[in-house]
Amino acid sequence: MAQKKTDTIVLAAHLDDGVLSCGGQIYQRTQSGAGVLVATVMAGDARRGASDYAQSLRDRWQLDSSAEAVRRAEDAAACALLGADFLHWPIPDCIYRGGAAGTMYYQSDDEIFGPVHPGEAGLVADVVALLRALPAAEQIVAPLTVGNHVDHIFVRQAAEQVFGDRLFYYEDYPYAQKEGSVQGVLDRTGSGWQATVYPLSEAALRAKIAAILAYRSQFSTFWSDQTDLEQQVRGYAERVGGERVWSRGQKM
């Protein structure tokens, strides 16, 4: 938990979402003396054996049954590079969740980026309870849900119940890189959206890239090498003018 006044809370579904999407603005805020807390909701250990699908992801990450502990350590290192505090909650990633009979709810890429499983009807309430325990903050930023990952959807729905119109939304990176993906979410979720763009200094871009590199296990999922990572991060920042957040009219 944060040791100083928290000015901004970035809500992440997974152990990299906040830094991937908001790393530059996090760095610039902490450098100016603001307190930033990155709170990750689905940061818990698996509570049952991994499915074949979950194991295939662990194999890609080159991790074993200690995968989530390693990923929490990666997130702590990334947040330290940006000067942010971090909070890890115990709900497992969707790839580890399932019903009482032992069947896992999400067993493919199509399923984790598809409809929420009906067996998880009560999960939003669990996330709401966690969010209500957060410290007070001037700004709360949640995933816009670009990419339609089920865990991002849970976090957004819960955040809207708790924070309502106070909420701001970050563009889920790297899913936001797909042409038309951000606008598609905005079009599906009503009108009145306004963007706030945060230009990023060279120092902020470098800090964001360094923080992303701290997530070693996730590297191969999105990038072929470090040059590819840097080109993509810089390319998207140039495309949108830095980092962009959305709201229903208020300004950050």
Question: CATH number of the domain that 239 lies in?
Answer: 3.40.50.10320
pLDDT category of residue 2 using cuts at 50, 70 and 90: very low
| Residue at 159 is within a domain | yes
232 within some domain: yes
Model's pTM, two decimal places?
0.95
- Taking CA atoms, 110 is separated from 24, 105, 152, 174, 249, in Å, by 30, 12, 15, 17, 34
**Is 115 within the bounds of a domain?**
yes
The pair of three-digit structure tokens given for residue 23, joined into one six-digit string: 């790393």
Do the domain assignments include residue 139? yes
**What total number of domains does the chain contain?**
1
In a domain, 70, yes or no: yes
Average model confidence (pLDDT) across the chain: 95
Asked if residue 24 lies in contact with residue 205, where contact means CB atoms within 8 angstroms, the answer is yes
Q: How far apart are CA 76 and CA 84, in angstroms?
A: 9
Beta bridge mates, 39: 11, 87
- Does 3 fall in a domain? no
Show Cβ contacts of residue 143 under 8 Å, excluding neighbours closer than 6 positions. Answer: 11, 12, 13, 17, 21, 152, 155, 156, 169, 170, 172
DSSP 131-180: HHTSPP-SEEEEE--TT--HHHHHHHHHHHHHHGGGEEEE--TTGGGSTT
> Is the CB of residue 147 less than 8 Å from the CB of residue 14?
no
3-state class (DSSP) for residue 39: strand
Residue 58 lies inside a defined structural domain of this protein: yes
* pLDDT tens readout for residues 90-146: 999 999 999 988 889 999 999 999 999 999 999 999 999 999 999 999 999 999 999
Q: Which domain holds residue 191?
A: 8-247
Coil, helix or strand for 44?
strand
CB atoms within 10 A of CB 32: 8
Read off the pLDDT of residues 147-204 as tens digits, 9 standing for 90 and up: 999 999 999 999 999 999 999 999 999 999 999 999 999 999 988 999 999 999 999 9
Per the domain annotation, does 123 fall within a domain?
yes
